[in-house]
A and B are shown apart, each in its own frame.
Chain A
Amino acid sequence: MSDFAQTLITAIAIGSLYALIALGYTMVYGILKFINFAHSDIVVLGAWSSYTLASRILPKLGLDPHNPETVPPIWVAAVVLLAAMVFCGAVGFTIERLAYRPLRRAPRLNVLITAIGVSLLLQNVGQLDFVFGASPQKMPPLLPSWELASFTFGEGETARRLVIGLVDVVIFSTATSLMLMMQYLVFHTKLGVAMRAVSFNTDTAALMGIPVDRVVSFTFVLGSILAAAAGFLYVMKYPGMNQPAHTIWVLLGLKAFVAAVIGGIGNVRGAVLGGFVIAFVEQFGAFYISTSYRDVYVFTLLIVILLVKPSGLLGSPLREKV
């Protein structure tokens, strides 16, 4: 019972991260119809820039997280998060402006290849010695390791503890509030209407006076901001950070993309649903079947969903016009 509950808590926390990343994939796909392979690298950028802030810049301000006497207060974590979000938003804007905008009318395959190029570029620039370096680091603890609730099941030798940590609650609440903001933005503001219009039909939207380029830029910035938040929250949960080009980051991004596809690509609510579905399959599969095959479950689920319902759980079927 406690194992089940612990897996459930992890699945919810990880699921909300997948959902955050998947939102970025799905919005870009909805509007520009290509997989933004560089999105996972924005997540990495979010994680590593918040690491740089926390371990290089905070100590200079007299807030060394490693020193027990100068542990920064909790609000510092929020500042780091915001700074990472702003930085990644700016990077996302630049990428769209320089690499993707010249290809607005190009075949989709070319844009996809460019996206792979941008992804490789970000990874390998991040690996340079004077940027982030090519060795793993440990994220300093910005959040206190409080246990908000703990339950004990069973007695004596077989006793198991169930812990709900502050980190899990922060991840879930931050992610949920960001997703609710997104929901409001997309469905209840003028900008959201413009985004949906561009995604529905770019040319018609342009004819109706919607500034398509600005909307696309905004979508990229928004997606990058969410990705940065996801990167920050991910290293809060798992402080052992791998180097920027490590497979684990690409896999994180890939799973989030799988989440977006499973939920129905282009569909904002579908991405959130897909994120949780993926996390549940992965975490419960890892716990009850075998940990080493956790990536296999996700991709198998993807292939099955694509074969059974290619438009995803909440997506509407695409019809190709001649």
Chain B
Amino acid sequence: MANGPSSSSTSTTSASNREQGREQRTGNAWLGLLPIAGGLAIAALMHFCLPGLIGQFYARIVTDIGITIVLAVSLNIVNGMTGQFSIGHAGFMTLGGYTAATITYYGSMFLWDSAGKHGGFLGSGEWLFIASCVAGGLFSALAGYIVGLPSLRLRGDYLAIVTLGFGEIVRVILQQTGKTIDSVEEFKNAGWAQLIPPPVGGAVGFDGVPKYTNLFWVYAVLTITIVVAYRLKGSSLGRAMISVREDEIAAQAMGVNISRQKVLAFVMAAFFAGVAGGLFAHERGVIISPKDAGFQRSFDYVIMTVLGGRGSITGVTLAAILLTALPEVLRDFEQYRLIVYSLLLIFMMIVRPQGLLGIHEIWNFWQRPKSSARSASQEAQA
């Protein structure tokens, strides 16, 4: 990606990041938790006020948007920051989703003799749900590690095919699973042979998963994802990833362990995708099915990272909001949705290949005069 304008602007962002990092390090360490606390407060506020204000239909779209942002921002760690090209993100999401759904569905049967919802807001059922999402994320991260390993030997486009193949393998394997066990008695009497591999509904999807997902949990996860991604971007680890994106050989020469960075990026992205998959599987009105692991869904997230700007967290968030909300608003437009997306993609690559925001965050545009003056002085020194 070492074309002229983008590489010079990288130095300005990394410089401003470094400065911010230094400010944070000198301040109180607890201040770092402030964004997370703020995010959780906003999430709780949204959970209690939003459905009343805008109605269930729009509240559901807002939930969808939250999940999509988690997926797009996590894919951005691989595609945007590390410069690898994964088109199997939906595979990780579905894997995590199925893992989480299996745990809550059969876990609820085991603990409370019913697969339905248990407990209210922040009740025991919700804690099982969030723990299962984390478990889904961990399982997905393990898969990410395995998929990331070949990336040590593969360059860009081969890796794309491997990740695409991964998504397809997940889809095919999930299609072969057995029918879900509906009744509690049957589940309690079932032997291990019936439960391994877990019966998760095969090609028709996993029906009957308790619908725990609500605005609070979605936006709590979203907060953590964005904070982690943003902190990562400013950290030495993130800068090592960005250096891999800009020039692998130069990065290696500077002592960056490029294979470690690539695998790490894969594992992190897969973890968040798995958690988001857990949220997706428990969302009201959704039946998670093997189809979700297919590449069409993966392409959606790739389009978001490309449109938003590779490496720009706010840019990708913006693109995720736009591309999730637009088709919901323009229902009649459905037939033309993907035509417009694809034309946009081709057009962007020709006219503005760095994406809407490029590698900048949205606030960099307000600070522009200052940071460009600094980079000019740096260039003058050099």
Contacts and interface: CB of A to CB of B under 8 A. Distances in A.
Interface of A: 34-35, 99, 102-103, 106-114, 116-121, 123-125, 127-129, 247, 250-251, 254, 257-258, 261, 292-293, 295-296, 299-300, 302-303, 306-307, 310, 320, 322
Interface of B: 1-3, 83, 85, 87, 150, 153-154, 156-158, 160-162, 164-166, 168-169, 172-173, 175-176, 249, 294-296, 299, 302, 306, 335-336, 338-339, 341-346, 349-350, 353
B168 A292 contact: no
A120 B338 contact: yes
Nearest to B84: A109
B345 A116 contact: yes
Contact of A120 (B153, B172, B306, B342): B342
Contact of B302 (A102, A111, A116, A296): A116
18 contacts: A99-B350, A103-B349, A107-B1, A109-B156, A114-B349, A116-B299, A117-B346, A120-B341, A125-B339, A247-B296, A292-B176, A295-B169, A296-B172, A299-B166, A299-B169, A303-B162, A306-B154, A320-B249
B172 A121 contact: no
Contacts of A322: 249
Contacts of A110: 349, 353
B193 to A, nearest CB: 19
Contacts of B156: 108-109, 112
Contact of B1 (A109, A112, A127, A251): A109
A118 B346 contact: yes
B295 A250 contact: yes
A254 B164 contact: yes
B305 to A, nearest CB: 10
B277 to A, nearest CB: 20
Contacts of B154: 306, 310
Nearest to B295: A250
A107 B169 CA distance: 30
A106 B172 contact: no
7 closest A-B pairs by CB:
A117-B345, A299-B165, A120-B342, A121-B342, A117-B346, A124-B338, A114-B349
A302 B165 contact: yes
Contacts of A320: 249
A306 B168 contact: no
B178 to A, nearest CB: 13
Nearest to A114: B349
A188 to B, nearest CB: 30
Nearest to A302: B165
B105 to A, nearest CB: 24
B249 to A, nearest CB: 5
> Which of B3, B165, B175, B341 has the most chain A CB atoms inside 10 A of its CB?
B165
A292 B171 CA distance: 11
B299 A112 contact: no
A118 to B, nearest CB: 6
A306 B157 contact: no
A35 B161 contact: yes
Contact of A124 (B87, B157, B342): B342
A108 B83 CA distance: 11
Given A114-B349, A310-B153, 4 more contacts: A292-B176, A299-B166, A303-B150, A306-B153
A306 B158 contact: yes
A144 B150 CA distance: 48
A142 B138 CA distance: 54
Contacts of B338: 120, 123-124
Nearest to B167: A299
Given A120-B338, A120-B341, A247-B294, A307 B150 contact: yes
B345 A261 contact: no
Nearest to B343: A121
Contact of B168 (A34, A251, A307): A251
Given A116-B302, A120-B299, A302-B165, A35 B160 contact: yes
B146 to A, nearest CB: 10
A261 B158 contact: yes
A299 B88 CA distance: 13
Contacts of A303: 150, 162, 165
Contact of A117 (B2, B153, B160, B349): B349
A287 to B, nearest CB: 17
A177 to B, nearest CB: 30
A295 B172 contact: yes
B253 to A, nearest CB: 9
B287 to A, nearest CB: 19
Contacts of A125: 339
B1 to A, nearest CB: 5
A137 B30 CA distance: 64
